[in-house]
Structure 1
Amino acid sequence: MDLRMHEELARVWDDFEEDDDVWVGVLTGAGDRAFSVGQDLKERARLTAAGDASPTTFGSRGQPGWPRLTERFRLFKPLVARVRGYALGGGFELALTCDIVVASEDAVFGLPEARHGLVPGAGGVFRLVRQLPFRTAMGHLLTGRNLDADRAHRLGLINDVVPPDELDECVNRWVEDILRCAPLSVRAIKEAALESASASLEQAFATRYVWEEKRMHSRDAQEGPRAFAEKRTPDWWGE
């Protein structure tokens, strides 16, 4: 991903957040070879040689495309990653940001930054140690070793592994299942899960969640029980 792509993606995420008619997002790569292999290191080397590059570190504040997906901490619409091929560096960090990850059997995940004198600055360090047992995460972070799709699935990093020709069908099933749910409920659940991750249970229960406040007083909160009582499929308005 070069700087221009980061700027383009920032506009995409802005539109995604602001469009009330879009309830779920699917992030995928172009083609079959890679989901994303992360930062364009050739561009990085060229800019550094020209004296036009600032040092990289954790986070992207002040850089093109900020806030990038990995730092949109208030994005509570659900995201599904469709991973085919390589998801390395920033590509893996994008997948770690998503709520559901579906991968083909040929997918490969990894954070090789330490091998290039860099750090996984788009959240890879922080998210991997939260999503895996500590020593398992450190084993990959400190060596840059890759994970194949089967190992990533066994470790709980991804939800499903399927043959390449079944990838789209599997992703669609996840999307359809999410869309069967009330969109405000989905956002409230995601918000509560993320906001309470580092809180005690007592703090989690005591916290007021913005999207839960919206859901509580919404038409959808009335429609769900009514549809159940009437034995019909609910009609969600997202309001």
Structure 2
Amino acid sequence: MTSDQARIRYEKTGHLATVTLNRPAVLNAMDLRTHAELADVWDDFAADDDMWVAVLTGAGDRAFSVGQDLKELAARERTGAAAPSSFGSRGKAGFPRLTERFDLAKPVIAKVRGYALGGGFELALACDILIAAEDATFALPEARLGLIPGAGGVFRLSRQLPWKIAMGHLLTGRPLSALRAYELGLVNEVVPAEELDDRVAGWVADLVACAPLSVRAIKEAATVAATLPLPEAFAARYPHEERRMHSKDAVEGPRAFAEKRPPRWVAG
């Protein structure tokens, strides 16, 4: 791998954006440049109204991502360039990273093969749908390295898994197999590696068949309301829902149903 090779491959096809972590020689470990490139990609994805869904994956068949590039971190610490670090990415390359883009209403699918460790697992946890190959392995090994899962792993894993199971993995760094993650509800589907692309394509097709403004409004409302009492959830303001409610798509859906034809969404 040459030093000038892009860390991220970003491809647009129809309404799909495919985002590929592109450092397979180091199991898609994320250095500072990776985070900077990712920030540009997520900015573009969020701003492009023709992009309705993203798939996040890793190059090669060995890893989704093993997280932070620890060799780069160690080198920066030796030179005094690495400041003490805790939760979040503020003040760091690529801020805000996907793990903190709380207002990103477009759906993101994680397509996982091989290792999803540390920050790689945290990226997958920040996605809305997670499809894993049978060979996928998830873990947050930060406690074994004198670190913490500061990109949201502490917070998301303890919300997405039963408490004691989450704490068992957080406190020990023990790995979680794809099948076990599925049994616990952390993964939507586990499939043979050779079927992974087709299964993800099926989820993409289902998402693109839906009204994009409805999808964004639903994600926004579910995310915001997750920590609200039910009466407050009903009374809260949801900007994406306000846009959907007054959109052409809100009229098109019922009209297409009544006319027995496929709807023609315009995301407006």
Structure-1-length-normalised TM-score: 0.99
**AA in 2 matched with 1:184:** L
Structure 1 position 193 matched with structure 2 position 228: no
Taking the aligned partners of 2:171 and 2:226, their CA distance within structure 1 comes to 25
Structure 1 position 33 matched with structure 2 position 62: yes
Structure 1 position 55 matched with structure 2 position 84: yes
Taking the aligned partners of 1:217 and 1:14, their CA distance within structure 2 comes to 25
Structure 1 position 238 matched with structure 2 position 238: no
Structure 1 equivalent of residue 15 of structure 2: none
SS of residue in 2 equivalent to 1:232: coil
Match of 1:20 among 39, 49, 62: 49
Structure 2 equivalent of residue 130 of structure 1: 159
Taking the aligned partners of 1:128 and 1:209, their CA distance within structure 2 comes to 26
Match of 1:65 among 86, 90, 94: 94
Structure 1 equivalent of residue 168 of structure 2: 139
Paired residues in the alignment total: 239
SS of residue in 2 equivalent to 1:80: strand
Higher RCO, Cα 8 Å, sep 6+: 1
Match of 1:219 among 248, 253, 256: 248
CA RMSD of aligned residues (A): 0.4
Shift of 1:208: 1.3
SS of residue in 2 equivalent to 1:142: helix
Taking the aligned partners of 1:218 and 1:157, their CA distance within structure 2 comes to 34
Shift of 1:56: 1.5
Taking the aligned partners of 1:64 and 1:147, their CA distance within structure 2 comes to 29
**AA in 1 matched with 2:126:** T
Taking the aligned partners of 2:238 and 2:97, their CA distance within structure 1 comes to 23
SS of residue in 1 equivalent to 2:172: coil
Structure 1 equivalent of residue 113 of structure 2: 84
4+ runs deviating over 3 angstroms: none
Taking the aligned partners of 1:188 and 1:237, their CA distance within structure 2 comes to 15
Shift of 1:220: 0.1
Structure 1 equivalent of residue 213 of structure 2: 184
Taking the aligned partners of 1:202 and 1:191, their CA distance within structure 2 comes to 17
Taking the aligned partners of 1:190 and 1:26, their CA distance within structure 2 comes to 16
Identity %, equivalent residues: 69
* Ranges in structure 2 where 5+ consecutive residues have no aligned partner: 1-29
Shift of 1:113: 0.3
CA displacement 1:31-84 (0-9 Å, x = unmatched): 100000000001101100111100111101001110001010100100000000
Taking the aligned partners of 1:56 and 1:116, their CA distance within structure 2 comes to 14
**AA in 1 matched with 2:228:** A
Taking the aligned partners of 1:89 and 1:65, their CA distance within structure 2 comes to 17
**AA in 2 matched with 1:200:** P
Taking the aligned partners of 2:36 and 2:224, their CA distance within structure 1 comes to 27
Match of 1:104 among 127, 133, 136: 133
Taking the aligned partners of 2:237 and 2:31, their CA distance within structure 1 comes to 39
CA displacement 1:81-126 (0-9 Å, x = unmatched): 0000000000000000000000000000000000000000000000
Taking the aligned partners of 1:60 and 1:82, their CA distance within structure 2 comes to 23
Taking the aligned partners of 1:128 and 1:52, their CA distance within structure 2 comes to 30
